[in-house]
Structure 1
Amino acid sequence: MIFSQKILHWYAQNKRNLPWRSTKDPYRIWLSEIMLQQTRVSQGLPYYLKFTEHFPTVNELAGASEEQVLKLWQGLGYYSRARNLHTTAKTVVNEYHGKFPNTYIELLKLKGVGDYTASAIASICFDEPEPVVDGNVYRVLSRYFGVDIPINGTKGVKYFKELAKEVMNVENIRDYNQGIMEFGAIQCAPKNPDCSVCPLNEGCVALKKNIIKELPIKINKTKIKNRYFNYLVFLDANNRTLLRQRKGKGIWQNLWEFPLLETNGKINIDELGGKHHNVVSLNEAPKIYEFNQEDIVHKLSHQHLHTKFWILKTKTKFKDGIGFNELDKFPVPVLIADFIKTFKI
């Protein structure tokens, strides 16, 4: 049995029962693929179910407000995916009359749709013989064929795409592509795969050379930046607080947060007392309390946010103040959502 046939045979026996497996609807396949980028299935599944319940078709998603989309996405991270999702839904409705393009080349023109997503939709929905190459596929191919080219370099991306094309099953591309991704997720797992029961173990170069742990190779390009966030949680005479919407191209674009004072390092309560006026101007000095003594370190892909929440009580009444029972209406970063759940007035 050749490589692709073994993948298909394994998939038929081991595939998980997932809602997007029983459809060829490109809207639902696209939705699942965008949500599962850099996200585990167990984490993404509840979001997929929520989205398909609120927006059963691309038309409903296109007609929603960005705030609705971001609120449903809250906690899934990488929020640019949600904004691109919303933009693409509008494009499909307005430029493609509500129908997704049915070829790999046309799909690539949609915002947020790269090689992998276009290949997945084209093959799963329209049977186009286009190989998918995601993290799971890189792992399977690099181990089985013993390829030590870094997967995140230009040479590696091109090499693995060509290799995936050579070994794919053209006759049943839909199941084959889903099968090799599933195989990487379950059988050829990143850590401690059970090679003794692997149907590919006889031909696996990495197993023969005992280099399973070393493959695939990835160049470490990420430099972690440390940032220091001080969130100012104001409470006015009516116990109302302030939220602000993040603008610009940085993290959490268009999400809401408490007024933020970003500093070059940790600050104490005395240092904060002289700086909060730069964020929110008050008529009198507020009473300041430290909510968390130790920094909450929120880790993102390229940066670590060392975060303190400060409670500032003021006699001033905010014209645009928001009650704490209203905060759940706003899409906020998970860091803020966790604080809101914990804080008691």
Structure 2
Amino acid sequence: MNAGALVVGEALIDEVVTGSAVDRYPGGSPANVALGLARLNMVTRLHTAIGDDADGELIRRHLAGSGVSLTRESITDQPTSRAVATVGADGSATYRFSLSWAPRDLGDLRKPMIVHTGSLAAFLEPGCDVTRDIVRRGRAVGAFISFDPNMRPSLIADPDRAREQFTALARASNLTKLSDEDVDYLFPGRSIEYVIDRLIASGVPVVGITRGSKGALLASGEHRADISATAVTVADTVGAGDSFMAALIWSLTVESGGWDGRPVTESRLVSVGTRAAHLAAITVSRTGADLPTLADLEAASPIA
């Protein structure tokens, strides 16, 4: 196994209520990315904020089963966060949240090779300050920084402030990935191509934007790559973006000699994007955020 990744962000319980049935699953975008990296054979730590309660124990067991370790500061005296979806007779869902992002400061980064963050951890007070501090310290020790905003508009109190926070973290990253929905929220009325050009011009080395069944666009410097979605029978789309993110990180830092800081060529963007599309396709073919292993990826698309 290679040098480690440090992921910073929320881990929570997704609770799905259908009639009298209640299904509960560990979730949270950063926690899913940590899971995805560990299943790709990366030593991975997650710095999060979960309670010393039954929900926190469920999350710990779920992550540990794939090799993700939690920082000791991740256990807090607050209840573990939950996102509750109630499914109606017509299949539509309504959501309510019982969550917070108030992680403890992280004492020892251990000089990670990679620092990844995103989602609520990047935007919610008071913990977004802890997130930014870890990113700053990661950059200072030469870590590869990745960022996925994974916006949750219903939980954002100040959209303008969120856009400022996004810009600061994107500019601090080596890789920023957004969905087309993120683009619509953060850059209303602007095209995906405009957003890519703007982020590249601001100094982000690699930008990715996913478009669901339409595939993804990747960019680095003057190079652009249009990545087709991999055809698959869809079980659900939970965790697809997180799989794509984990695969981008893995491909850019492990494959083809890893990350050297130089502009990524068009051919490598295609290779990286194709790997990510394969992993996302495997995930959507399964129920829930069941991210693939390295063996799954090798079986679906042999690595040269």
More strand by share: 2
Q: Which has the higher helix share?
A: 1
TM-score relative to the length of structure 1: 0.24
TM-score, with normalisation over the residues of structure 2? Answer: 0.27
Pair member with larger Rg: 1
